[in-house]
Structure 1
Amino acid sequence: PGRHNAANGLAALGAAIAAGLPLGEAALALGGFAGLKRRMEIVGAAGGVTVIDDFGHNPDKIGATLAALHAFPGRLLLFFQPHGYGPLKVMGDALIERLGADMADDDVLLLCDPVYFGGTVDRSTGSERIVAGVAATEKKAEHIPNRAACGDRLIALARPGDRIVVMGARDDTLSGFAASLVERLNDAGK
């Protein structure tokens, strides 16, 4: 789903035609495209709650994800792990603006601390600033420093019809975190 995927599909068809492939063959090939790992990938569902793993990690990608998911009913429980203090500092204002504009009133955003790979990076701008900015737009946003504690909060908030969306980049363990949420929803009887 999503306009971004439709635009990408049309671009792929255009490239195939420009390369000399017949439109019918190009369309058939496009019809077999299963999508990309971690782009709105449905990990599983339990108790009426669907868990989605998504690579969204900057304002444009997060906006595209929200637009696509809001085309369907259900509240979004958004978990975002920023992929570093530097990127968060650079894109912070745009991220606040995008989330404030694109979140629905009943959506909930949880931000943990940015992934930190060590070094001397300036850690003075963190997730707290983003959460405060989003909350100032009257959207629901919470900073929970620890990812595991964010998982606890997501499970506590989840109700039938919700979609939990795990977003972030540069951390291969995010997919495992998303899968663990499905297991926990099952265990909780949700």
Structure 2
Amino acid sequence: MASAIPTAMEQPHFIGIGGAGMSGIAKILAGRGAKVAGSDAKESPTADALRALGATVHIGHEAGHLAAGASCVVVSSAIRADNPELLRAAELSVPVVHRSDALAALMTEGRPIAVAGTHGKTTTTSMLAVALTELGLDPSYAIGGDLAGPGTNARHGEGEIFVAEADESDRSFHKYAPEVAIVLNVELDHHANYASLDEIHESFETFAGRIVPGGTLVVFADQDGAVELARRVRGRDGLRVVTYGESASADVRVVRIVPEGLTSSVTVVLDGRELTFTVAVPGRHYALNAVAALTAGAALGVPADELAGAIGAYTGVGRRLQLKGEAAGVRVIDSYAHHPTEMTADLEAMRGAAAGSRLLVVFQPHLFSRTQELGKEMGEALALADASVVLDIYPAREDPIPGITSALIVDAARAAGADVTPVRDRETVADAVAGMAGPGDLVLTMGAGDVTDLGPVILDRLSRRTPPN
């Protein structure tokens, strides 16, 4: 397939180039031969990976980082209006392009698959990317996390398929025009941008309306929000709706999911034929994500039996129940879960994998607005663990909201009978966990913020723990 670079992005400058979504687009453009540059707040393995692809990456945000020859400046919704590089772009009359518009421009060629939903996007997109690569179809892909095998979140491929994670948080997924779209679930989240569940439904309906004529919408038949979306759009001219799940009415019906340690065996009926395949990560929700990937690939014409076997090549993605290591007989696993539904799913998966061992959680709430709306449900989810440590809220792009702290979660967790300890000083977390954990236990660092950085610290503290006399 041709590897055209949109004229406006021949020499792009990315503000926040190290971000999961931004770095993916930058990598694809670099793979296509664009002269990529950008800036980020700090050094990171992502910055090094971009430099290895020929990109120029500056650390810190300064007006001078924007080269006079830049063809555009790419931003995400997290970039504030007073960013010095953004102000410099205005002075130089350099066009400013939102991340979603840049990705949409890259997806115009070939056969795009867009993966949407309140939860599970990264895993499902990753499963498709890995399976299609395993089959020799050489897809391009843009994912919100690093694949365990290739170790990257994006790649320019020479094949005609482009698999992309479609973000609903700021309505940016309205920019894409996929041939096949997956909607895993529709729930209320992103409270700073959506005032009600009905607004979320309307947003997903708009996304479904972007599917090209003759295209396919793949919908989870077992989740109320996804079912409501299917009801709203079914019957539209030029749109095929295919459902998957355990529901008897599902077009691709899940017959059984059998947990096998840290993997699962999944059996489905597709086009009247029974297929059984392995998913190399634990948990029913990941098994169902694999069925979504299978359904979408089949809708694009990839032979289902070949795709089912290739899905077994998926071994995980960074921060999605990622094993960080083991020390003193304690396994430390990292989870990106930050919404109560995600938290519950990952905790149930880990509870099944713990096989009688204790499950300990280090949880960092993400965003003040999410905690304000869902703090009670987060606390109730933590009751699934044997004990939890709760950190202060990770603000990300938000300013504090008066009265909204992680105490809301702690109180709700205790009301639900959970053993939970608030810890404000990050430096003491590793000691607290080391004092709680024993051989055979599982420690889960959970949240979308920098709680992931604590995994190696906890492992180091465990490895230096003085054995009992």
TM-score (norm 2): 0.38
Cα deviation, residue 118, structure 1: 8.1
Please state if 1:160 is matched with 2:439.
yes
Output one character per residue of 1:15-34: Cα deviation in whole Å (capped at 9) or x when no partner. 11111111222023211112
What residue is the counterpart of 1:121 in the other structure?
400
What residue is the counterpart of 2:323 in the other structure?
42
Letter in 2 for 1:91: L
Q: Distance in 2 between matches of 1:46 and 1:179?
A: 10
What residue is the counterpart of 1:184 in the other structure?
461
Q: Distance in 1 between matches of 2:431 and 2:321?
A: 22
What residue is the counterpart of 2:352 in the other structure?
71
Cα deviation, residue 121, structure 1: 2.4
How many residue pairs get matched?
184
What residue is the counterpart of 1:95 in the other structure?
378
Choose 43-52 or 79-88, whichever is displaced more.
79-88
1:134 is aligned, of 390, 413, 434, to 413
Give the structure with the larger strand fraction.
2
Please state if 1:58 is matched with 2:335.
no
| CA shift in 2, pair 1:116/1:21, >3 Å | closer
| CA shift in 2, pair 1:49/1:119, >3 Å | closer
| CA shift in 2, pair 1:31/1:117, >3 Å | closer
Cα deviation, residue 87, structure 1: 1.7
Output one character per residue of 1:49-94: Cα deviation in whole Å (capped at 9) or x when no partner. 0000110111011001111011132111100011122221111122
Choose 1-10 or 114-123, whichever is displaced more.
114-123
3-state secondary structure, aligned to 1:40:
strand
What residue is the counterpart of 1:15 in the other structure?
296
Q: Distance in 1 between matches of 2:398 and 2:311?
A: 43
Do 1:85 and 1:123's aligned partners in 2 also have CA atoms closer than 8 Å? Answer: no
Percent of counterpart pairs with the same letter?
A: 33
Q: Distance in 2 between matches of 1:168 and 1:146?
A: 17
Do 1:46 and 1:186's aligned partners in 2 also have CA atoms closer than 8 Å? Answer: yes
* RMSD of Structure 2 on Structure 1 (CA): 1.8
Q: Which has the higher contact order (CA 8 A, sep 6+)?
A: 1
Cα deviation, residue 117, structure 1: 5.2
Do 1:46 and 1:185's aligned partners in 2 also have CA atoms closer than 8 Å? Answer: yes
3-state secondary structure, aligned to 2:320:
coil
Q: Distance in 2 between matches of 1:145 and 1:57?
A: 18
Do 1:47 and 1:189's aligned partners in 2 also have CA atoms closer than 8 Å? Answer: no
Cα deviation, residue 152, structure 1: 1.5
Letter in 2 for 1:181: I
Output one character per residue of 1:143-165: Cα deviation in whole Å (capped at 9) or x when no partner. 11122222220011110111110
Larger radius of gyration: 2
Letter in 2 for 1:13: L
**Structure 2 gap ranges (5+):** 1-281
Cα deviation, residue 46, structure 1: 1.0
1:27 is aligned, of 283, 288, 308, to 308
Q: Distance in 2 between matches of 1:26 and 1:189?
A: 49
2:452 is aligned, of 139, 161, 175, to 175
| CA shift in 2, pair 1:129/1:52, >3 Å | same
Cα deviation, residue 14, structure 1: 1.0
1:80 is aligned, of 354, 357, 363, to 363
3-state secondary structure, aligned to 1:164:
strand
Q: Distance in 2 between matches of 1:189 and 1:40?
A: 28
